[in-house]
Amino acid sequence: MLMVDDELYKDTGYTCSAMRCGTPDGQINSSVERSEIPSKNDQSNFGQGYDYQYWVDNFILVDFQNKKNPELFLKEGVTLDGIPEYVANMKAIIKETVKDSPTIKVQVIEVPEMFGYQNDNFPNNNMNSLIEIPLDNLVSQENAYDEDYLNSLIGKEIKLYFDGDYIELKAGKLKTVYQIDLLK
């Protein structure tokens, strides 16, 4: 939890992958115990020395310096309705299942411009390359190894939300996938 401008913000558990200016608006300069609620501005209950940046729609970004993308914090009392649009996402088509593994390979068909992965900026300059993703957030565990079920997914369109890790994307294997929505 974090207090900025007399408002409390809670960690959403998501990272923000949208392009931004990168200039911090402030820094967390004091901290309380993890079990306590911050009571003064620029104070958190997770440590100090971290830069933050005002974002949009009641969000603040906190740069934890050991992560590629900053964490999204939402103003206390504001309800989060689904995954925020600033979390890296893309549409893809399921192309292959991976035998004896709870993963699938997908081909990306659309990436929102705000993430800067467009066409020739896309890793390896090729949106046609396959990316391996875990099935954890698409199928129940009992279906994860059901070959008939997995084969029925081939050709289906999905929208997946992930942590925006460009290195993983470039390597063709995403590890942190928040959610996968089956579209068609």
User: What pairs with residue 71 in β-bridges?
Assistant: 15, 62
What tens digit of pLDDT does each residue of 53-78 get? 998 889 999 998 767 778 899 999 99
Residues 132 and 147: their CA atoms lie apart, in Å, by: 17
What 8-state DSSP symbol labels residue 173? B
Span 37-53, pLDDT tens digits: 999 999 999 999 999 99
Is residue 88 scored above 70 in pLDDT? Answer: yes
pLDDT of residue 125: 47
From the number of C-beta atoms within 10 Å of its C-beta (0-12, 13-18, 19+), residue 92 rates as buried
- What is the percent of the chain where pLDDT is above 90? 35
pTM of the model: 0.78
Q: Which segment, 17-26, 63-72, 119-128, 147-156, is predicted with the most confidence on average?
A: 147-156
pLDDT score at 118: 46
Mean pLDDT of the chain: 83
Q: What is the pLDDT of residue 39?
A: 97
Tell me which DSSP letter residue 49 carries.
Answer: S
Domains of the chain, with CATH numbers? Answer: 2-75 (no CATH), 89-182 (2.40.50)
Cα–Cα nearest to 113, from 92, 136, 90? 90
Res 123 pLDDT > 60: no
pLDDT at residue number 116: 65
